[in-house]
């Protein structure tokens, strides 16, 4: 059902099972999947693809041109995954040519009120961004990560799977998977034990990650020394391997 006051560009592709509320504006080359609900006063600009069963609340703005000085009007995109909830006043901007041309939000994300996702960012599955959390450009957020309220994350930073960023943090370096960080500037506060338990990680996995965490971050080794020590002394389960590979591939440095 589309409200009579909504403005829909004739080039938009909207499934017959989509609901669009009053005074919303849908631009050209927008695609909206079955079961998605668009609330009142939502603006979806051109070149946006929205998956199935999403729920977008009033005054959200999706697909505006990026706040990037090098943007020259090129055709770039936003993609929203299935089952994502986008609350009031969320803003998500299109990508840039230099950043790959795509801003992507994964499946089943929860983007709380006033969150901002800038150009060329990518979030994984089941990401939670709390109120007023802000991503600068070119940021990658891993699966099941949680970003607290009033968090600001520097451009090009990566947040690993199952990481937890505490509220009011300023994050300027990569956050490894499975870790809690908090503060201005953000510092490590241990393994995300509660989150990992809630997600069903086994006792053996938690023990292995705790041992790896201690070796890498708590006994004064260099990162290279710590990685070699972890390889020698800790069972190489997938989660430990993922932690090591994330650290080895960091370009901005690791939050410590």
To the query of whether residue 100 is one of the catalytic residues in this protein, the response is no
Instruction: Please pick, among 33, 81, 99, 137, the residue that the annotation labels catalytic.
Output: 137
Task: Say how far residue 88 (Cα) sits from the centre of its chain.
Answer: 17
Instruction: Please pick, among 21, 39, 95, 120, the residue that the annotation labels catalytic.
Output: 120
To the query of whether residue 39 is one of the catalytic residues in this protein, the response is no
Rounded CA-CA distance 151/65 in Å is 23
To the query of whether residue 160 is one of the catalytic residues in this protein, the response is no
Rounded CA-CA distance 176/132 in Å is 22
**Cβ contact 173:191 at 8 Å:** no
* CA angle in degrees (0–180, nearest 5) for 40-87-121: 120
Q: Which residues of 5-31 are buried (b: 16+ CB within 10 A; e: fewer)?
A: ebebeeebebeeebebbeebbbbebbe
Residues noted as catalytic: 119-120, 137
């Amino acid at each position: 059902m589309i409200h009579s006051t909504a403005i829909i560009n004739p080039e938009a592709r909207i499934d017959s099972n989509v609901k669009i509320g009053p005074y919303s504006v849908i631009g050209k080359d927008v695609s909206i999947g079955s079961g998605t609900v668009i609330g009142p006063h939502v603006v979806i600009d051109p070149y946006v693809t929205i998956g199935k069963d999403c729920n977008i609340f009033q005054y959200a703005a999706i697909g505006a041109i990026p706040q990037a000085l090098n943007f020259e009007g090129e055709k770039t995109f936003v993609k929203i995954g299935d089952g994502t909830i986008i609350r009031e006043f969320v803003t998500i901007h299109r990508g840039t040519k230099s950043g790959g041309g795509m801003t992507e939000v994964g499946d089943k994300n929860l983007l709380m009120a006033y969150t901002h996702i800038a150009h060329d960012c990518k979030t994984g599955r089941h990401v939670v961004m709390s109120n007023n959390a802000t991503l600068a450009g070119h940021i990658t957020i891993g699966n099941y990560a949680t970003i607290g309220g009033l968090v600001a994350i520097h451009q090009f930073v990566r947040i690993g799977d199952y990481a937890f960023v505490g509220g009011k943090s300023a994050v300027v370096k990569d956050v490894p998977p499975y870790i809690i960080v908090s503060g201005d500037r953000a510092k490590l506060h241990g393994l995300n034990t509660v989150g990992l338990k809630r997600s069903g990680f086994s006792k053996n996995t938690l023990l292995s990650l705790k041992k790896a965490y201690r070796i890498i971050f708590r006994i004064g080794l260099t990162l290279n020394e710590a990685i070699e020590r972890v390889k020698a002394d800790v069972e190489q389960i997938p989660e430990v391997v993922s932690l090591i590979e994330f650290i080895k591939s960091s370009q901005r440095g690791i939050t410590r």
